[in-house]
A and B are shown apart, each in its own frame.
Chain A
Amino acid sequence: MKKVFFAIMAIAGISSLAAQSAAEKGLQIAKAAEQADLGFGSSTVKLKMTLKNKNGQTSERYLETRTLELTEDGDKSLIVFNSPKDVKGTSTLTFTHKTGSDDQWLFLPSIKRVKRISSNNKSGPFVGSEFAYEDLSSQEVEKYTYKFLEEKGNLLVVEQDPVDPKSGYTRRVVTYNKDKGYRFEKVEFYDRKNALLKTLTYSDYKLYQGKYWRALTFNMVNHQSNKETLLKFEEYNFNVALSDEDFTQVALQRAGQ
């Protein structure tokens, strides 16, 4: 009986998949990934960014990021630079929006100035790294259209096309792990000419609070320039209980003072 039941379930599953368009299935996976990460509230984490040029020379940056989860609109985040020392305290505050441009402020500690900056520059590199601003911003479902490509065991491969015409990409190909809370395993970025530009691989995953997967290593390789950027995260802290008041221009200045 049990076998028969499973067989029926499998057939039902397959037929429902077939009935779904690739776009619907892609969207469903993105939503499942979003759903799996819901409810973390807020977190802080310190990280080391290592920039490697094509000759293998490296330079390092130390950063700290704070994130506040919002469900009705996109997340809020605050990034503080701790090194290099000449830019220590330089900080950014970002209010991500599900639709439309993000709001972003920059704090310059040397003259204590808070400056509202344009979030127009999505495709530009973040502090000389291989990460573009858009690679590091909050991953909202509404920012892409989707196309399911294939399933390989527990891995689901989905093409994502950015909605924003200012994006530096025609598409990204994201590999999800459906058995591990739909976490990202790999993202391939295709430039405006649809040539493979970069590959980002996630590793050293750790499960927090039995629910939230966080990769402690990000490795971004640029295939066109042969440059690399490695992000190494320290332990995430999910017990900070941050609120909206920790993501204001006043808090931005305090973080960078």
Chain B
Amino acid sequence: MKIVHISLLVILVLSGLNTYAQEDNSKKTTHDFEMELEAEYRYFYDDALFEEQKDHFPSFAIRPEYAISWNKGYESINFKGFFRLDVDEERTHWDIRELYYQKAKNNWEFSLGLKKVYWGVTESNHLVDIINQTDAVETFDGEEKLGQPMAQFTWITQKFGTFDFFYLPYHRKRTFAGDKGRLRFPVVIDKEDLEYESSAKEWRQDLAFRWKHYFNILDIGLSYFYGNGREPLFAFDSLGNINAFYPVIHQAGLDLQITHDAFLWKLESIYRHASAQEFVALVAGLEYTFSNIDGNGLDIGLLGEYLYDERDELALNALQNDIFLGSRIAFNDTQDTSILIGGIKDLESDSTIFSLEASRRFGSSWTAEIEARIFDNIDDNEIILSNFREDSFFRISISKYF
């Protein structure tokens, strides 16, 4: 009963805020409040590889958002919060995804605060994207990110493209699954145990730069990052102990896309240099979409990408010499039904990961998602991936938007 009362109260407060969210033209200030409540259930159907790992993970998440903008939208303060409650105590976490002030004027834009920035063009792996730390316990595909403190200055020119300068004063550590969690190593890694190469630790003052431009059908980005790596470096000693730390890295990145008729040709490549490590990695591929096949809006896209990583087995994401094939199906109906299916196969072994993601809206404010990740024939020689071989799972989530 108590829960019902609290829910009713929450809904009342939210509807009150929604009314307030209407634009007030006299002051020319726009407020916007939104909230997403999500119920999620993950089920790992294979027996766990390590003790204490669970099979069933009911979970709940809340994502409040608030934005206030003025000066015709050229100035704003944006907030996105996040909280998840999960069976795995490490996956129970909260974060400020965004909280920043932004001002834009003519050919420049400035942002200050916690923000999320995305770089890149490919689908199966996001090599170039480095500004934000990955929220590794949140999703398997690594697309969820932690809010990154930054000052960002963007200079836009019509002829020479867009120049982005980032000052990143603080590094955020990656969180790993806890005792009960799946998708982990035999030893539970406490994120606080990971040290830094830099003596300034998380307070090392990092810098990044990106140039982005387009010429007719070609979109290109060149980037450079110098600072604490977002990926920890894992070193295994002869006893099987893991020694992991965050190195100071230099990373140059290239992302390129050619958009020609229904073809998207894509390339992402990085060169990373640290005192303990030096490597190149790339993803290259294409996307072709058969659009409006049935005259009713059905689009079927075919995706193919090749992944290479010089680190070999030590690549954290285990995508060292692999091929990705997938299909994106969009029904373009009023419910925005879409399906993404795919598989990544190692070219040197039989290790394969199949995945499926589908989503649909119900009514005007509900959505449902289904996800599946199947680890198949994972080779025992895969240093990282072999730990996940029993971690195939299904996930269903339902969200309500206020």
Chain A interface (Cβ < 8 Å from any Cβ of B): 51, 53, 59-60, 83-88, 101, 103, 111-118, 120-121, 123-125, 127-128, 168, 191, 225, 240, 243-245, 248-251, 254-255, 257
Contacts and interface: CB of A to CB of B under 8 A. Distances in A.
B106 A86 contact: no
Nearest to B257: A116
Interface stretch (B113-121, B167-175, B244-252, B386-394): B113-121
Q: For A101, A240, A243, which residue has the most chain B Cβ atoms within 10 angstroms?
A: A101
Interface stretch (B43-51, B308-316, B341-349, B359-367): B359-367
B143 to A, nearest CB: 5
Contact of B118 (A51, A112, A251, A255): A112
22 contacts: A51-B334, A59-B334, A84-B361, A84-B365, A86-B365, A86-B401, A111-B118, A112-B118, A117-B264, A118-B289, A121-B262, A124-B299, A125-B292, A127-B336, A128-B332, A191-B295, A240-B72, A245-B156, A248-B162, A251-B104, A257-B78, A257-B102
Contacts of A123: 291-292, 295
B339 to A, nearest CB: 16
A168 B296 CA distance: 11
Interface in B135-181: 143, 154, 156, 158, 162
Contacts of A245: 106-107, 156
B162 A249 contact: yes
A53 B399 CA distance: 25
Contact of B262 (A103, A113, A120, A225): A120
Given A116-B259, A120-B262, A245-B156, A254 B334 contact: no
A83 B365 CA distance: 9
A117 B266 CA distance: 12
B191 to A, nearest CB: 23
- Size bracket of the B interface: 35 or more
Interface in B44-99: 67, 72-73, 76, 78
Contacts of B292: 121, 123-125, 168
Given A121-B291, A128-B336, A257-B76, 15 more contacts: A53-B334, A86-B365, A116-B219, A116-B259, A118-B263, A118-B264, A118-B289, A124-B332, A128-B332, A128-B333, A191-B295, A243-B106, A249-B162, A250-B154, A257-B78
Contact of B264 (A101, A116, A168): A116
Contacts, number: 108
Nearest to B402: A85
Given A168-B292, A245-B156, A125 B116 contact: no
A202 B89 CA distance: 58
A118 B257 contact: no
Nearest to A243: B106
B212 interface: yes
Contacts of A124: 291-292, 297, 299, 332
Given A118-B261, A120-B262, A248-B156, A60 B291 contact: no
A243 B333 CA distance: 34
B34 interface: yes
A118 B106 contact: no
A111 B154 CA distance: 19
A118 B262 contact: yes
Contacts of B143: 111
B154 A59 contact: no
B367 A86 contact: yes
Contacts of A254: 73, 102, 104, 109
Q: For A53, A225, A245, which residue has the most chain B Cβ atoms within 10 angstroms?
A: A245
Nearest to A115: B121
B329 to A, nearest CB: 13
B214 interface: yes
Nearest to A126: B332
